[in-house]
Amino acid sequence: MEEEIGLLGLGIMGMAMSRTLLRHGANLTVWNRTPSKCEQLVEYGASVAETAAAVVKKCKYTIAMLSDPSAALSVVFDKDGVLEQICKGKGYIDMSTVDADTSSKISEAITSKGGSFLEAPVSGSRKLAQDGELVILAAGVKALYEEAHCLFDIMGKKTFFLGHVGNGAKMKLLVNMLMGSEEPEIAGESVLHSRPLRVHLWLKIQLIFSFESTFAVRSHAITSLLKLLIPVCWLHFQREFYWLKKVNWTLNLFSTHWTEVDLLIHCY
């Protein structure tokens, strides 16, 4: 890609993704809250900007890879942030793991300034980021997804477009639930730590959605799925009410994005 690409956030993942992009010849400008981390990338050809706003000013597409929702919001809304320079013709792609509400807030702000927004959380690790083998769960402006596809192809082995903003965040949660999680705070919320339990759940869901299933098979699968989920949900209800909302998101995603969920599972 000829255009200037920006990357905000040089933590474990952002650093590995930047190295991968540079290896593939991207014109990359980076910014990090702790500026010293940027220096490591200069010898690989990256330019360094002093603020997130300066990156957006220079670049057509800016990727963010930040630790959590508060970091993602701060980099967009605070002084010298993304919002100061985003405008028509520029795209902002947030690849951090954040909740759907945070993503929607960022999307609305970017769009109100004329920019395009994609959320694109990833499933993977530092090693997979280094090898360009991430699974990318994009949602938002389809045109930006298509324009940025070559960047996703460099960073990932498979990219999904999941429709409107929020679906990427929810699908990321679903992946964490099914596969376990690399992020402790989310892993702590996941009930499905045990592999046999996950496989059991997955088989029931397959039965419910499979075209070949008869009514009787489906109702049996639904009943036993509920028997599995209800105690699990109850346990978590006692600990954290918010978790139920996430279960609901997940079940909605199963029904609205069945094809993508099925394809996604086959990435593992």
Ligand X SMILES: NC(=O)c1ccc[n+]([C@@H]2O[C@H](COP(=O)([O-])OP(=O)(O)OC[C@H]3O[C@@H](n4cnc5c(N)ncnc54)[C@H](OP(=O)(O)O)[C@@H]3O)[C@@H](O)[C@H]2O)c1
CB 144 within 8 A of CB 111: no
Decide if residue 81 touches ligand X (CB under 6 A). no
Helix (H, G, I), strand (E, B) or coil at 91: strand
- Point out the residues that are catalytic: 172
Q: How far is the CB of 175 from ligand X (least distance, A)?
A: 10
**Structural Rg of the chain based on CA atoms:** 19
Among 7, 10, 30, 138, binds ligand X (CB under 6 A): 10
Q: How far is the CB of 250 from ligand X (least distance, A)?
A: 18
Decide if residue 168 touches ligand X (CB under 6 A). no
Of 78, 109, 79, residue with least CA distance to 92: 109
Among 19, 37, 57, 257, binds ligand X (CB under 6 A): 37
Decide if residue 125 touches ligand X (CB under 6 A). yes
Q: How far is the CB of 55 from ligand X (least distance, A)?
A: 12
The footprint of ligand X on this chain (CB under 6 A) covers a number of residues equal to 25
Decide if residue 65 touches ligand X (CB under 6 A). yes
Helix (H, G, I), strand (E, B) or coil at 94: strand
Nearer to ligand X, 181 or 205 (CB): 181
Helix (H, G, I), strand (E, B) or coil at 17: helix
Q: Go through 164-203 and write b for each residue having 16 or more CB atoms within 10 A of its CB, e for each that does not.
A: ebbbbbbbbbbbbbbbebbeeebeebbbbeeeeebeebee
Query: Where along the sequence are the contacts to ligand X (CB under 6 A)?
Result: 9-14, 32-34, 37, 65-68, 71, 74-75, 96-97, 122, 124-126, 182-183
